[in-house]
A and B are shown apart, each in its own frame.
Chain A
Amino acid sequence: MSQHNEARLPLAFIAPGSEVRLAGLGDEIDPLQREQLTAYGLAETQSLKVLQQKPMTVILADQVELALEHAVARHIWVVS
């Protein structure tokens, strides 16, 4: 039986190559930037693939590549 790890981790901590699900956007993110992220399609339960973490976090979400500064990625919570 498979076990799911439901611990929430910051997106900035996830190793490149991993696939995760979005659990929530932290309140620390600027409201306008939250709207921007929602407009890019980052909604809860959305699956994301982390492509790289340096020099910025780059993710693939629904065939769209997004680059996020660590200051933002640190406040995006994901579950594996």
Chain B
Amino acid sequence: MNATTANAILLVGHPNVGKSVLFHRLTGAYVNVSNYPGTTVEVTRASARFDPQAALLDTPGVLALPSRSDDERATMRALLNESSRCLVQVGDAKNLRRTLTLTALLAELGVPMVLALNMHDEATARGVTVDIPALAEQLAIPVLATVATGGEGIGELTGSVARAGVADRMLRYDPAREADIEALAAAITEHAPHPRLAARGLAILFLGNDSEVEGWLREHAGDAYGQLDNLRKNAVDRAPGDLPGLLARERTEAADALAATVTRRAVNSSPLLSQRIGQAVVHPLWGIPILLAVLYAVYQFVGVFGATTLVGLLEEDLFEGILNPGFTGLVQGWFGEGLLSELLVGDYGLWTMGMTYALALILPIVTTFFIAFGVLEDSGYLPRLSVIANRLFAAIGLNGRAVLPMVLGLGCVTMATLTTRILHSPRERLITVFLLALAIPCSAQLGVVLGMLGGVSFSAVLIWTLAMVGVLLLAGFLAAKLIPGRRIPLVTELPPMRLPIAGNVVKKTAGRLKWYLIEVIPLFLIGTFLMFALDKVGILPAIIEAGEPLVSGWLGLPKEASAAFVMGFLRRDFGATGLFAMADALDPIQAIVGMITITLFIPCFASLLMMVKERGMKTAVAMVAIIVPFAFFIGGLFNLALRALW
């Protein structure tokens, strides 16, 4: 990449206004884009197509500045630390008031900017018209209408970046607040001038208790920081209420006034079909049947079509029928019957086990899952689940917002662990990371479970589902009781429902599959090699023997299933696939118990590393120490209960 950060263009805006889609349009780089807030949790950068010398930075959505949440802090750090030449504020054309509330603060930073009013088509459909030339004149910056998903207005936007200008101030605060801002700005100019950001903007953020700005000033003002802090304390004492709140309210009023002068609304326009559907899916009566219908459709597509039909075609017909016999013959022809042949095509062969598991068993399942997930994401259905699930999540000390990482976890627990940053309190994040690690199967594992238990009976799938939900609720309930802190009630935006765009779903699926192939195939090959090595030096048979009391005695599984649990330490789905491969040797109860135990097992190695990154080594080790014995304990209980009742 030729782009340098000294020539950066920052995309900034509220969550779910289309920054990441715009980023893709402007760079060609793929970001995991979804129709719900909080998709981008870290800054992503790539060269701009229209100027290869410029780096374009996609920042996490900010509900408001000064920053309060992790994603807002990440954006604030980008504003403070990146050598940006301009900001592109991406706003929601149908809610200009909210967009301008953020503009009122960004304008104070003194950085050249452009305002892209995105989702212009949705605004028009709702009868909202913005007088763009008038707004551009008022703000003294280029303002454009864009539809990032359809590519409209992108050419004009790239052209306008060269004309970016410093926006006119949108307001003068109350005289007393202005005096405080000016005094603080003068002190910042003297003691900690920022190379790009205006001292006045930093003063407003500092008065608003922005922790990132506070940290930056503390670092750069040295001994004079105390003087800045005293000025803030004096301002807080003089304010007739909560100072950050007062400043925010004045910005909202200014945005309200400007929005009113440049926006026209059609009177009494009837709700759009998308709005009616959006309301139906969270309706107290219709919401649950719609959810069940969605789950059934996903089960049919992933569990039946993906895990049965496609796996049958690939595994039985292509791999077992054609590729594996051919490859085995070729290898044995070249290398004879020795160790190398066994390494490649033996019981724990890199091809016959590693590649066959990854390509024939898992790939069709994750492909169908990623397509189904992409359709749900693009439609805007997922955030509405938070409304339906809120009461359930309240029982485990969380609110419905946690449904997003949980559902994302059904795609990939590693990514979902990262997105727990969208939750507002450390307590919520800790509980959610624990539950993700314990009871949320990733797409690959889910597909294997559906494929294996779907082949047993629908009742088997139902028992496994009830077991997972039961464990999730029980563990969540206990975690909520043990972890100090209080539950935060849910307040969330519900993005509009949209007809999924095939191109977006294909791009997302392709991006995820690329990630899957890059991450999973090497791990499957390493895992297979470890199994081969353990087998050859006699450790695997010893583990199988040593694990017999636990695996056969307590869980009621064949002793060979120990090998699957050894594999599960590398990836849960690798372990689950190991059980899937021995499905013919298992009775229905063994299949259910095996899948319950392996699902509750520790997640893959990658998600373990993410747990360490997000929650620290001590917490991650503690979670693993709880999860592994708990998985075997619950599996054994189900073995006893099912054998007593079945």
Contacts and interface: CB of A to CB of B under 8 A. Distances in A.
B493 A56 contact: no
Contact of B253 (A31, A43, A56, A64): A43
A55 B284 contact: yes
A40 B64 CA distance: 8
A36 to B, nearest CB: 6
Interface string A57-80: 010001111111101100000000
Interface in B478-526: 488-494, 496
A37 interface: yes
Contacts of A31: 242, 245
Contacts of A41: 95, 97-98, 101, 252
Chain A's interface size range is: 20 to 34
B491 A68 contact: yes
A54 B284 CA distance: 6
A16 B493 CA distance: 18
A4 B646 CA distance: 67
Contacts of B391: 55
B533 to A, nearest CB: 53
A38 B307 CA distance: 47
Contacts of A30: 488
B547 interface: no
Given A35-B68, A69-B390, A52 B283 contact: yes
B183 interface: no
A35 B494 contact: no
A51 B249 CA distance: 26
B386 interface: yes
Contacts of B424: 32
Interface string B239-269: 0001011001100110010000000000000
A40 B98 CA distance: 7
Given A30-B488, A32-B424, A67-B386, A58 B399 contact: no
B410 to A, nearest CB: 22
B147 to A, nearest CB: 16
B97 A62 contact: yes
B123 interface: yes
Interface in B347-389: 386-388
Contacts of B256: 43
B240 to A, nearest CB: 15
A56 B123 CA distance: 26
Given A55-B391, A58-B387, A67-B282, A40 B490 contact: no
Contact of A35 (B126, B244, B492): B244
A2 interface: no
Which of B95, B287, B387: most chain A Cβ within 10 A? B387
A39 interface: yes
A13 to B, nearest CB: 17
A34 interface: yes
Contacts of A67: 282, 386-387, 400, 490-494
Contact of A66 (B128, B252, B390, B494): B494
A45 to B, nearest CB: 9
A33 interface: yes
A38 B102 CA distance: 12
A27 to B, nearest CB: 10
A40 B390 CA distance: 20
Given A30-B488, A40-B493, A64 B95 contact: yes
A32 B301 CA distance: 42
Given A52-B284, A67-B387, A67-B492, A38 B279 contact: no
A69 B393 CA distance: 12
A17 to B, nearest CB: 11
Contacts of B488: 30, 33
A35 B249 CA distance: 9
Contacts of B491: 33, 36-37, 40, 66-69, 72
A32 to B, nearest CB: 6
A54 B286 CA distance: 11
A54 B123 CA distance: 27
Nearest to A54: B284
B64 A39 contact: yes
Contacts of A71: 489
Contacts of B493: 40, 64-67
A46 B386 CA distance: 25
Interface string B99-110: 001000000000
A34 B245 contact: yes
B63 interface: yes
A69 B391 CA distance: 10
Interface string B275-294: 00011001110010000000
Nearest to B244: A35
Nearest to A30: B488
Contacts of B73: none
B248 A35 contact: yes
Contacts of A34: 245
B94 interface: yes
A65 to B, nearest CB: 4
A35 B65 CA distance: 10
A65 B95 contact: no
Given A41-B98, A65-B278, A67-B491, 4 more contacts: A35-B64, A38-B249, A62-B97, A68-B491
14 contacts: A31-B242, A35-B244, A36-B63, A40-B493, A43-B253, A52-B282, A55-B287, A55-B391, A56-B282, A56-B490, A62-B97, A64-B95, A71-B489, A72-B490
Interface of A: 30-41, 43, 51-52, 54-56, 58, 62-69, 71-72
Interface of B: 63-64, 68, 92, 94-95, 97-98, 101, 123, 126, 128, 242, 244-245, 248-249, 252-253, 256, 278-279, 282-284, 287, 386-388, 390-391, 399-400, 424, 488-494, 496
Closest 7 interchain pairs by CB?
Answer: A39-B64, A69-B489, A54-B284, A65-B494, A71-B489, A63-B94, A41-B98
